Structure 1
Amino acid sequence: MKKDIRALILEDNTADADLLVRHLRKSGLSFVSKVVESRKVFEESLDTFLPDIILSDYSLPSFDAVSAFKIIKNKNLNIPFIIVSGIIGEENAVMLIKEGVTDYVSKNNFSSLIQKVNRALREAEELVQKEDLIEKLKIQTKALLIANTELELQNAENEKRAVELINVNKELLAFNFISSHDLQEPLRKIQTFISIIMEKEMETMSDSGKSNLKRMHVSATRMRQLIEDLLDFSRVSVVDHPYEMTDLHEIIDDIKSELSDTIEQKKAVFEINGLVPVFIRPFQFSQLLCNLISNSLKFSVPDTELLITIQSGILKYNEFRLLNLPDSPQVCDYWNLTFKDNGIGFEEQYNQIVFIIFQRLHHIEEYSGTGIGLAIVKKIIDNHNGIITADGKLNKGVIFNIYIPITEQNPQDLNISL
């Protein structure tokens, strides 16, 4: 409450006005007062004196409390208005309070005056605070509405861009697939003609011609491999393959059978430890494991037994969080596959870039390939909303860790017996 209250007293009787002021002072209220008795001076005081409370006699010779209160209401002023009178009567007082007058005090009993004044001032202050709060809420609500409108516009724009991006990606994938597919036919003819020439015309060719023809054959073969790898990349970019609870043993056995000649040649040994069933797209994971195993076979250390270790398990979220992996997609448990070999590996600085398409760490004449294999692996993991990391050590092999989130949409049934 303010220290100095401004009390406007509407009273034509000087003695009554003095008595009223004395009672206020005796109560200890800190205030300044102004006594008026006419309508004109009352209205002027509302603008110049700026009262905090009005104490009004009920009836004056040329003015009255009812008229004074109507002025307050017409000006929309929230000033406590207390009638102080000895003739108004209880019935009239109740009627006026119903109309909005703050309170009533009888001149014959000033004992309740200070209590009613203090209450009126407190309620007026609370009303001001409430109105300030409402105004602030209105401003905040308006700002939130503006921000919400802007957010809706941004979301609409983002959705539009997302649809456009999806359409562009579909067009690119279609273009990639069709282009790669259509390129194979003329390439087959080129390879066929090269084979015919090498079979029938080699003896009559000069050494330079033979060399050039062999180089053409190598280039055509590499081109064929590149087209096939691009087709593979196009296929794994399409995510409409169904999810299934899958036993990786069967997939690995199929891959080992397919690559049996190379495995025997490289004297590769497989160590398969506790593979946990996983809810995945089997078609894509078969491609993933085939690429990883093929890489290990290709980049093995000469005259050294190649050891490929594959194992999996479940990581609780608290364990997974301790890995501090970037872009962890979801708060949940994770299925973890570890793939390890003891091949030539690579330097740690290449751990991130090995998954970039067409990225090669070795010269083509040292190790064949197109640089698409690990890009396909990364794309497959992206299709599963997962994460893959590489940990290479030069001449000490590489470890790949794959993390697939376990969610309600992608559950892992740990009770399956295999």
Structure 2
Amino acid sequence: MKIPTIISALLATSLAITAHAAPTTSSTDDPTLFANLVKYDHKAADALVAHYNNAVDGSSSSRTNAIGAKAAASKDILPYCVAIASNPTRTRVYKNKQTCDSKGWTTLFVFTAHTKKDKHHAAYPVCIGSAKNPDRSVIQTLKTNCDGNGWKHESTLYYTGHFVGDDHVGSTHESTFIFQATKPNRMMFYPYYEGEKHGWGAPRNMGYRTRWRLASSREMKLLKADLPSHEAVNKKIKIVSPPDAATHRCVQNLIQKAPAALVDNKKPTTFQGKDYNLYVEWAARDGCSHLVSSSSIQHSRIAKSGFTSIELVIKNKVYAAVSVRGNVALPEYFMHLAMQESLRTGQSIPVTVDNKDKDQIVALVAGTVATFGGKNTYNRTIPKK
């Protein structure tokens, strides 16, 4: 699967939606898009999450998912929920939310991003602003503050400027085109959307670390069917938080090398970090070479059901993990995104492969049933409820 990449020239381009810069458009109506948005069953999702948490750690309200776990969700990498509304069509970005279905808004997708600058993994700023009448958001790249021209600054995030396909970077960031329109000034921020066909103009790119959308009812049922097997694996996993930035960077880099296309569930397997040349190079760049010799990727938990785990280990401590059915074809790229979410949330992530769309997975991410997937996840072929 090919993901759009940003060329260096675009790093110098800022998306500023102002009356004198944005093109006037005749119409941004797109009935097909609204008709096919996933209708997330919040009640069913909450019941699924409560059952899972109770089975794994004995508490229906707990957001950890390992007995005695000490890991906490990252304060430096947060989720941002992107919502859409009509009359006129516009989008809104909410910081530190995984769903934003409320008051006429429908969740489009969720992305995660660094909130603090990191010279190796998140060097470039992006600001998010908002305006009223109607309520809407703006994003401007290479700016830390969005105040001005009628916009009120809300938050700032950071990304690397290097994206999927830049193998030398070792830091997976995805990008999405952002389209703009006027009367009123607003943006369309939606992966793979062909905005120019629906009255939007002047596309720009913005990057972030991971993305997913809310799962449909069909996808939620797929994960629910596998939940007992996930519970058997994950209740044995204890994840801890990275003690410093160096460890966090090395875990992120280790994720990019984790073999996850097919996981052997017949015997425990360990892959040593030092055997991956690029991982060793990235560790030198990121100031964590001292952790290479103790780094490993382990397929160590095996349940009777054939489910197993992929665990990212440094100095005998697990910093990220996913549970999955063994000996089945897996979309490795999306498995890596799930591991990133495990590192961010401090929880092992249950992952189920979609039996209808092999290029996507369904996962439980910190209380949200999420679907990570390819192009068809985000365009008009999104499955209806």
TM-score by length of 1: 0.20
Which structure shows the higher strand fraction? 2
Structure possessing the higher radius of gyration over alpha carbons: 1
TM-score by length of 2: 0.21
